[in-house]
Structure 1
Amino acid sequence: MKIRLQIGVTAAFTTIAVVMLGVTVAFLYNSNRNLALQTARAEMESARQKSVDGLINVILPVGQVVTTTADMINSFPGAISEPTGGSVMASQIKGLSQIYGLFFGFEEDGRFFQVVQIPEGLKTFGPNNSPIPDQSRIIYRTIDYAMSGSKLDTYLYQSDWGTVTGTEYSEVTYDPRSRTWYEGAKQKDGVFVSPFYTFNSTNKPGVTFAKRVMNPDGSLMGVVGVDLTLESVTRILGDIRIGEEGRVFMLDRENRVLAYNGPYGSNRNETLFKIGNREIKDPIVSRAITHWSNHPDTFFEFVDETDGKKHLASAAAIPETFGVSPVLGLIVPEDEFVGDIKATTQNVLKIATAILVFTIILIAIISRMLSRQINAVAEEAEKIGQFDLGGDFNMESHIYEVDALSKAVANMKLSLKSFGAYVPADVVKSIMSDGNPVEIGGESRELSIMFTDIEGFTAKTENYSPTDLAHELSNYFAAMEQQITINGNGTIDKYIGDAIMAFWNAPTSDPDHVDHACKAALACRLAGRRLNSISQDSSLFPLYTRFGLHTDQVVVGNVGSEHRLQYTALGEAVNLASRIEGLNKIYGTRILVSDAVAKRASDNFLLRYVDRVVPLGTSVPIDIFELIGDRDDTTNALVDIAAQEIEIAAWDACMELYHDQKWAEAHDAFKTHLEAATTPKLVEIYIERCREFVDHPPEKNWDEVNHLTRK
């Protein structure tokens, strides 16, 4: 049985609304007090869980930083006293606002290395309480031996690691070995947590997490420490306080108040952080602490003797983390829950009845309008389904979804008229969004062109079923397409079996198309590695992709016939890019680029000269280079730039001997370089050439060109 939309929507809404209204009013009337108490307990439990999560999120990373830094020092004991050690410490605490500083003190001679995150609002620092230089965010403090042999306390102010804004020196008056955190950590295997105290440099409260580091012979090397500021705890307490008259407090193991947040008024000065056994002047908090000390229940009630009001309270220790387990307490007057519910119960029936009548009328009007508009869209969609594309469809609606649907139908109708001119899905998508007919034509434009190919793909797929191969290969193409698209919005021209042809600077102009093409090739190589690492259960993987890049003038645009068009690039440069990709098989490389690319990318990318060649099917010699990495990639995600620069310097030294025709010396240099080479096949090619030239030197007019006879 089918029901009309207008009747069905109105009847369903009316039935549901009446039933829900009756149940809600009855429930509120019969159980308002129980609901108030349950709500109070639920809010306290929620606030407790929120505070526990917040405190754990504050404390746990601190302990992890201590443990991680101790492990790092234990593995690389010499690194901590080097600037790289400070860099690592700065990266450990970056983004952790609750950490004031990370440091390490040596047991043998009291040397001390510390990275401090300058707290917001701190204006002075250092032994002389000097003004902090502008833009400073990090302080790298070292107590170490100077060139004179004496110790020197150095403060290096930085806006970011490596960007120095100021330096300050002083005599050494500080010895970490005399500090409480150091003594405590010496006696404990795990993480030691100091008592709460006030930091001298900021005059703000905090606690130190510390862990000892042992030498291989079992003696003490030193102690790692992290200062945790407790301002984050104060913010957590302020966030979880319930109601206008609610109170939140935190106790240590001796039931002394560590922190308190309460209503403003006479106790406004007690909303700040408290340390030690200071007396709380708020009698309600004092009474709650006394009651809980005598009867440590998680939830309890008590009456304030001054005004006779009943209060709901909750107090319990949070889960222990690195030995820290403070007690969290919440207090809220009962009237804050019961009073509102009573008033709501008396008025809800009157208000709800009026709203129900008005809403039923409004729903009937809206459902009728919606029903008529949907019927119109459905009739037009039925025409399109029958390929009846005559006439125009224009309908506007104040309902967003209906209006969007009508516009989508109208746009689809117009786009389908031009659908037969294109086959590739991305081109069809462009036509549909543009809504204009396509035309044959092209333009001369400089493009950066990339070809890719999978090494040994044919052999790997001989026993693959077409269905399985299509599924596996689609994952690979998706990973490559993503990197090509996000790096300069590259255009994928076509998929040729397992190969990809892509280009940059068309159809959208891109003045940096050479750099974007290089970045895309490197990103695709990294994406391939990641795909190999997560596809180990597939016999198709691992896949190793080879890339060829070239930039030159080509013709790009719509080519074909009026019945079948393709947006593509044509010209000798396209063929040369494909040939360059094929040269990877000869030289054992992954990414080869032409000299046209190398000249424009050398400042931003790390390149290695490979050879001067005439690829098969061409007649003009070109220099080819191996694209190694992006100089701006400070993460070393793909390659270690510093290590590769050293290797390339050694390679260039070998090539200089080769260019000078010192064959025997070049042969020995290449042989030595082979042991550390990341592209051994390339080195072996030159070793063989030098060996041949020693026996049969080239002619005097030798031009170093290698004429290739295979792809």
Structure 2
Amino acid sequence: MIGITVAILYQSNHRLALETARSEMTAARENTVENLINVIIPVGQVVETTVDFIKAFPEAITEPRSGAVMASQIKPYSYIYGLFFGLEDQGQFYQVVQVPGGVAEFGPNQSPLPANTKIIYRTIDGPTNDMIETFLYQSSWGTVTGRELINVEYDPRTRPWYEGARKQDEIFVSNFYIFNSTGKPGVTFAKRVSDADGKLLGVVGADLTMDKITNILNDIRIGNEGRVFLLDREDGVIAYSGTRDDATDLKFTEAGDRKIDDPIVERAITQWVKSRETFFDFTGTKDGRRYLASAAPIPELFGISPTLGFIVPEDEFVGVIKETTQNVLQIAAIIIVVTVILIVIMSRMLSRQLNAVALEAEKVGHFDLEGDFQMSSHIYEVSALANAVSNMKVSLKSFGSYVPVDLVKSIVASGHPVEIGGTSRELSIMFTDIEGFTGKTESYAPTILMLELSNYFAAMEKEITANGNGTIDKYIGDAIMAFWNAPTTDPDHTIHACRAALACRHAGRKLNSVSSRSELFPLRTRFGLHCDQVVVGNVGSESRIQYTALGAAVNLASRIEGLNKVYGTRILVSGTMTRKAGENFLFRFVDRVSPVGTTLPVDIFELLGEKDEANSDLSATKEQYDEVSRWNACMTLYRNRNWQESLEAFNALKTQASADKLVSIYMKRCRHFIKSPPPSDWDGVSHIETK
């Protein structure tokens, strides 16, 4: 039953396709005729207008102004190669030529064209038996690019176009021929000019290049394998084309020649000449394919009535139908198979959905929380399970905002409950604090303060986590405690901690610059860094646990941060930090101190910048290098107990010092030691009694 239905549909569609082919050929012919008329009529009009001009001003034809008129006549039509007038009296000749693109030589001697030549004014004029042929080359009318004079070898009165126009009053159109001056194909439209007494004055002619007609005929080929041909009134082949697939454009033949190298075109022309049928079909002798063809004369215009023909393989129209018929038969078989497959698919749908939920749960187990998990199912149990997994992902993402992400990953990946306890590990610890924060915020509304402080914390957190994946331990009011090398191991933790401090300082400067309208800004952040062994792990009770670091090193880092207030500095680090990261950063020795709450003295240094010049935002400047050099010279005098000289050196440095408070401290000490020198066992330690 399906086979009978398909056969009926095939015959119906085949008949419809052939009718469509005829319609397309008819439409293509009508469109081509219209395009050809749009080309031919302007040529005839130009000839008629020039004839009227010469009749009105016969004396002007020998003057250059006639060339200007002819040039203006053909300028709008790039396909009109030239406009000219030949005189009956002595064979004088006046022609304006529009140089076609790609022509490099011109004239009977094939002389090279001067550069930029677009127009040629050719004249044959002079005394009887002594006329000269002149070629005036111009880039535009009146702008001469060159001139050439040759002996006259051309008589327009002997040319076919002249002889044809001389015999009739209407426009004469020559056969297709090759122009002598350019070697390109074309035809000539010509018309005789007579005076008021009917005496022949001469003939006006216009050359039409075949470029425009070639484009028209190439464009009207139907399909990728369609061909087109053009015959003259005697059924001689004017031109024919190959297929689009072969990229073969229109070929011209000698007048009246029927010998062509395309057997398909030759077969179509032969059959049409015999039958004169508008629509016909034939089988290719070599490829055995079926071809549809159409040929008919186009309406006569200026005596021209060539025959225009089209050739198209039948497969261009019915090939799709044949393919579709085969596809329908295949689809009928596929439907049966698909029906069986759908039954199997539906039975396995439940297991696939469960597998998807299981896969998502496994990703959550590895703390892979990227993307949203949304799955709808008509089965209630599967839908409920999918929602539970989705809610769990959202909860874990929120949990990661309160606890370091690396810690959450390790907790989830371990599959074990969290227990109180820790391990000893060397950490780089950083404390930050905002200078004068309490005084600035006394009159601030809590909601506004929270919003602006959150923006500040976000900028700091970005730099801390971006440099060595630092861990933010806690926010203490306006202060931040962070550390490196836990929970993720980081062998370069001291370098990352120092770089993070510099990056936070730079981020603070940027934040100040864009927050100038807020009374809270500008903010000045102070940093303290220290590196030592601490205990890091889970601290708290069974109901509430915090991951943090404990030990004397934590307290010392906090104390070092507080020393910025004493010395007027921004970033202070311990001597341990400088020994481990000193090759990468520029440090300035500040003091050997014993902070409150500690027993052993510690060297403290100011972190000024990174030695890597590629990172211009964090790199130490030349001025900082120079200041450190002068500072070290001052400190050498100070350590050698040259109190007067060191005082003078510090005083000279103070006006250009970045931390003038620090310089003032040492100048005060020098004055004190000048009056009361320290004992011989003086260790240079400063005991700080305030936090």
Give the TM-score range, shorter chain.
Answer: 0.3 to 0.5
Larger Rg: 1 or 2?
2
